[in-house]
Amino acid sequence: MFLKKSLKPLIAAAAISAAVIASAIIYFQANRHTVYEDTFFSMDTVVSVRSDIDVCKDTRDIFKSLEAVYDCRSENGEAARLNESGGLENCSDELIRGLNNILNLNREYGSSVDITAGGLTLLWNIDSENPSVPSEKDIDAALETVGIDNIKVSGNSVTLQNGAKLDFGAVAKGIALDRVKAFLKDIDDSSDTIVSTGSSVLLYGDGENGYFNVDIKEPESGGVLGRVRTKPCFLSTSGGYERYFEADGKKYCHIMDTETGYPSESDITTVTVFAESGLLSDFISTQVFIEGTKGIEKHLNAQDYKIIAADKNKKLYVSPGLEFVKKDLSYEE
Amino acid sequence: MKNNTVFARKSDIIIIAVIILAAAGFLLFRHSVSSERCIASISVNEKIVSEIDLSKTADGEFTLKEIQGPVFEIKDEKIRIKSSNCKNQICVNTGFIASPGETIVCLPKKLVIEIKDGKAPSSVKTG
């Protein structure tokens, strides 16, 4: 009788503890999928990550480590040291891999996007406090240093000929997003993840029944030009409407035209490229912008990517097969 | 009598049921709260200086002591930087934001306003 009596509260206590532990487990399971939003500065821009807390942290680490490789403006960057010295014997595997991938794209798609434009971008320096139009003489001198043939890669050693200076600004964010996706696949992460640098985005996971919605910004109003429904992929936007300066009533954007040595005077106001690689979407969006509408036909029907672009007359160019819904009715398809 | 030694008493079962229900209720409550909120998170140099629940904040303008220059405005559950003393004015030109994932950025000041809702992401704005 004594035993039986003392057993009852024990059983009750055990049951209650089990219930508490069970709810704690349910709670932490639910919490595991809580979405965190992390924002940090890297590669001259803001990176925002929406995912679970581990992915947010890892993404930050990946960006910081790649920034140390591709940064050509601060002396900590490997690219900056390469520019300074004109050649390095023991470049990191990451830099070599990046260089080779970019040069492969140049071989396939041409050299409108030229990472040896560093001399020009440095001369114009449009992100500085008081940017101005350089002299013809300086522009010509900088143009002399531009050309992808000036890059010689052999094993892990890189030589820059003719005073060429590298600038990975057009592609580094795409490369970083590629590395983030490779990492997510490696750890077999299942959480929905969006990493955005503002102009380049990684969409990863299931989204809404396998699809993500991408709102394309209207260049003048900042409103929404239209919405693209897409499976997980990479996308990059290029335009001259955000980073530019004005001199004598003329706008100079941040994208250099290596044909002229001046900022691109594209008739395209905004272009977004969707691809299976962040480097490719970054590269092509810059290329489409520089080439303007006269070169757009081949991009509209490309195999490896899809584009949506608008020109100064508010005409839209949309790749067949891209699920695009126009929101701003002042544009014409 | 023997039953009592094997199973808990009726009152014990009620207590356990109440605890489980409370736990479930708490989870549901958390879920409903997190799915309704739209928070504008303002950070300077990667440190959050203000978090504003847009659905509960009256229209108006304000400044923050942590950052000199920008004037913030909240209107119809949207937020913008109304004016700022920075050179390029990109933050001002961005206009109002309200949807999860949207951001206003002032790079020179390392200022970011981000809309958060705590839900799994399925949409993004680019450009």
ipTM comes to: 0.75
Give the DSSP letter of residue A50.
E
Is A219 close to B127, i.e. CB distance below 8 A?
yes
Q: Domain holding B71: CATH number?
A: 2.60.320.10
**Judgement on whether residues B18 and B43 belong to the same structural domain of the protein:** no
Average pLDDT, chain A: 92
**Judgement on whether residues B47 and B104 belong to the same structural domain of the protein:** yes
What is the per-residue pLDDT across A204-224, written as a single tens digit (0 to 9) for each? 999 999 999 999 999 988 789
pLDDT at A63 over 80: yes
Query: Which pLDDT value is given to residue A35?
Result: 79
Confidence of residue A48 (pLDDT cuts 50, 70, 90): very high
The domain segmentation of chain A, as residue ranges, is 206-333
Query: How far is the alpha carbon of B65 from chain A, nearest alpha carbon, in Å?
Result: 21
Query: Which pLDDT value is given to residue B102?
Result: 87
Query: Which pLDDT value is given to residue B24?
Result: 82
**Judgement on whether residues B20 and B43 belong to the same structural domain of the protein:** no
Mean pLDDT of B112-119: 88
- Structure tokens given for A240: 């001259």
**Judgement on whether residues B6 and B66 belong to the same structural domain of the protein:** no
- Among A235, A254, A236, A234, CA closest to A244: A254
**Judgement on whether residues B107 and B57 belong to the same structural domain of the protein:** yes
Mean pLDDT of A308-326: 97
Domain interval for residue B53:
38-116
Query: How far is the alpha carbon of A152 from chain B, nearest alpha carbon, in Å?
Result: 34
Is B124 close to A214, i.e. CB distance below 8 A?
yes
Chain A residues within an 8 Å CB radius of B90: 242-243
**Judgement on whether residues B69 and B24 belong to the same structural domain of the protein:** no
**Judgement on whether residues B77 and B26 belong to the same structural domain of the protein:** no
The proportion of chain A whose per-residue pLDDT surpasses 90, expressed as a percent, equals 78
Query: Residue B61 belongs to what H/E stretch?
Result: strand B60-64
User: Nearest by CB to A216, which of B1, B93, B126?
Assistant: B126
Which residues in A50-86 are b (16+ Cβ under 10 Å) and which e?
Answer: bbbeebbebbbebbeebbebbbbbeeebbbbebbeee
pLDDT at B20 over 70: yes
- The rounded distance, in Å, linking the Cα atoms of B28 and A215 is 31
Query: Which pLDDT value is given to residue A127?
Result: 82
- Among A240, A101, A241, CA closest to A171: A101
Confidence of residue B32 (pLDDT cuts 50, 70, 90): low
**Judgement on whether residues B13 and B68 belong to the same structural domain of the protein:** no
Inside any domain, residue B127: no
Mean pLDDT of A57-80: 93
Confidence of residue A329 (pLDDT cuts 50, 70, 90): very high
Contact A135, A305 (CB under 8 A): no
Q: CA-nearest residue of chain B to A9?
A: B8
Is B19 close to A16, i.e. CB distance below 8 A?
yes
Angstrom CA distances, A119 to A45, A166, A258, A266, B102, stand at 21, 8, 10, 21, 34
What is the per-residue pLDDT across B38-79, written as a single tens digit (0 to 9) for each? 899 999 998 999 999 998 899 999 999 999 999 999 999 999
Inside any domain, residue B112: yes
Residue B88 contacts A where some CB pair is shorter than 8 Å = yes
pLDDT at B2 over 70: no
Candidate from A12-16, A108-112, A167-171 with smallest mean pLDDT: A12-16
- Structure tokens given for A182: 């490779």
pLDDT at B31 over 80: no
Provide the domain count of chain B: 2
Amino acid in the structure at residue A78? E
Chain B residues within an 8 Å CB radius of A272: 126-127
Is A216 close to B127, i.e. CB distance below 8 A?
yes
Residue A230 contacts B where some CB pair is shorter than 8 Å = no
Residue B23 contacts A where some CB pair is shorter than 8 Å = yes
Confidence of residue A242 (pLDDT cuts 50, 70, 90): confident
**Judgement on whether residues B16 and B58 belong to the same structural domain of the protein:** no
Is A192 close to B122, i.e. CB distance below 8 A?
yes
- Structure tokens given for B98: 């309200």
Q: Where does A206-333 sit in CATH, by number?
A: 3.10.520.10
Mean pLDDT of A227-232: 97
Dump strand ranges (E) for chain A.
Answer: 36-42, 45-51, 87-88, 151-154, 157-160, 193-196, 200-204, 212-217, 224-230, 234-239, 244-247, 250-253, 268-275, 305-311, 316-318, 323-326
Query: How far is the alpha carbon of A84 from chain B, nearest alpha carbon, in Å?
Result: 26
**Judgement on whether residues B25 and B63 belong to the same structural domain of the protein:** no
Chain pair A-B, CB pairs under 8 angstroms: 148
**Judgement on whether residues B21 and B42 belong to the same structural domain of the protein:** no
Candidate from A56-65, A149-158, A315-324, B30-39 with smallest mean pLDDT: B30-39
Provide the 3-class DSSP secondary structure of residue A300. helix
Query: Which pLDDT value is given to residue A267?
Result: 96
**Judgement on whether residues B52 and B108 belong to the same structural domain of the protein:** yes
SS (H, E, C) A61-128: HHHHHHHHHHCCCCCCCHHHHHHHHCEECCCCHHHHHHHHHHHHHHHHHCCCCCCCEHHHHHHHCCCC
Query: Which pLDDT value is given to residue A18?
Result: 76
Query: Which pLDDT value is given to residue B5?
Result: 57
Q: Which of residues 3-22 of B touch A (CB under 8 A)?
A: 4-5, 7-9, 12, 15-16, 19-20
Q: What is the dihedral of CA B11, B12, B16, B21, to 10 degrees?
A: 0
Confidence of residue B36 (pLDDT cuts 50, 70, 90): low
Which residues in A126-148 are b (16+ Cβ under 10 Å) and which e?
Answer: bbeeebeebeeeebeebbebbbb
pLDDT at B112 over 60: yes
Distance, C-alpha A330 to centroid of its chain: 28
Contact A38, A46 (CB under 8 A): no
Inside any domain, residue B121: no
Chain B residues within an 8 Å CB radius of A242: 90, 93, 127
Chain B residues within an 8 Å CB radius of A35: 118-121
Confidence of residue B108 (pLDDT cuts 50, 70, 90): confident
Residue A274 contacts B where some CB pair is shorter than 8 Å = no
Mean pLDDT of A86-95: 96
Confidence of residue A6 (pLDDT cuts 50, 70, 90): low
